[in-house]
Amino acid sequence: MRFLVVDDSTTMRRIMINALQRIGYHDAIEASNGQEALERLDPTVGCIITDWNMPEMSGLELAQSVRETPAGRRVPILMVTTRGAREDILAAIDAGVNGYLVKPFTPSTLKEKIDRIFSGAGAAA
Amino acid sequence: MIGVPGQPAMRNSDEVLYDSEASLRLVDRAIHELKRSMADTGEHEWVVLEDSVTEPGGFARADGLRQLDARLRDVSATTETATTDILDCVSRAVALVERLGSAGDADRDAVLAALDNELALVTTRLQFQDITAQELGRIAGVLAAMRVGATPRALTALPEPQRDAQAFADRVFGQPPARKTA
């Protein structure tokens, strides 16, 4: 499965791709903000993993935009962010996000969230 | 530099560890200098605070400054903890590499697994760079707002992370969505 990893921090994108590799996912493409992610999104992308705070277009705006496109209605979105306020979490689910992971994370917690999304236990898109 | 066909050239581990440690020391030093500089200007700050509390919204501004100070101290503590954790991981990894040289076939796999685990921990701990950068960005935003006469509400606009944020998110996302669906 191909992941689209979206984060404005190069370090975090590398950490995320490294964590994905450790749990057995070796196909990932990158984007540094929501706008770039929309440009890179195509039917080969099986899951979007996005940060929230990014310049130009945030992860929340990305989720809202993806859900408005025919191709993006069903692609799972996992938000990985430092934002842990209750209202943020509720805003994310309202925007169409399927899973929520608060930084810092470990490869095992990442795997748990991905498994949860694909087992259908996460919020449906 | 290490070359892998089809991938960008990678730097060798000694070089990376040396640079990582140097970078961490720079971050740590910058935060200590920031704390010292705040302490040096403490008297001036109190004069500013005394002046500000006599103005409308002054008490809220003083409270906002106290919150910012607490958040900066949290950033400093996070950095210090992460730095210590990373250095501990590196020390254990170096010891494992030394052990690998004398390990027999039976022990070799266990040592390699332990080494792999330590290196994974380093990667996980490096997330502090992004976490502290985002927190410092939020603090800088509030300070910039204060300079242009922010309202008391803006001064307390830094969202307080929930202690059980992940557990709350798991509960919310584990339930059927009570929202629009595509």
Q: What value of ipTM does the predicted structure carry?
A: 0.84
Residues of A in contact with B181 (CB under 8 A): 124-125
| Interface A:B, Cβ pairs < 8 A | 101
Q: To probe the interface with B, which of A93, A97, A111, A112 has the most B CB atoms within 10 Å? A: A93
Under an 8 A CB cutoff, do A85 and B174 touch? Answer: no
DSSP string computed for chain B: -B--TTS--B--HHHHHHHHHHHHHHHHHHHHHHHHHHHHTHHHHHHHHHHHHTSTTHHHHHHHHHHHHHHHHHHHHHHHHHHHHHHHHHHHHHHHHHHHHH--HHHHHHHHHHHHHHHHHHHHHTTHHHHHHHHHHHHHHHHHHHHTT--HHHHT-SPPPPTTHHHHHHHHHHSPP-S---
Q: Does B81 touch chain A (CB under 8 A)?
A: no
Residues of B in contact with A99 (CB under 8 A): 173
Under an 8 A CB cutoff, do A85 and B173 touch? Answer: no
pLDDT in tens, B86-115: 999 999 999 999 998 888 888 899 999 999
Q: Which of B1-5, B89-93, B126-130 has the highest mean pLDDT?
A: B89-93
pLDDT in tens, B134-143: 888 888 887 8
Which one of B126, B134, B135 has the shortest CB-CB distance to A15? B126
**pLDDT for B158 beyond 50:** yes
B28 vs A68, higher pLDDT? A68
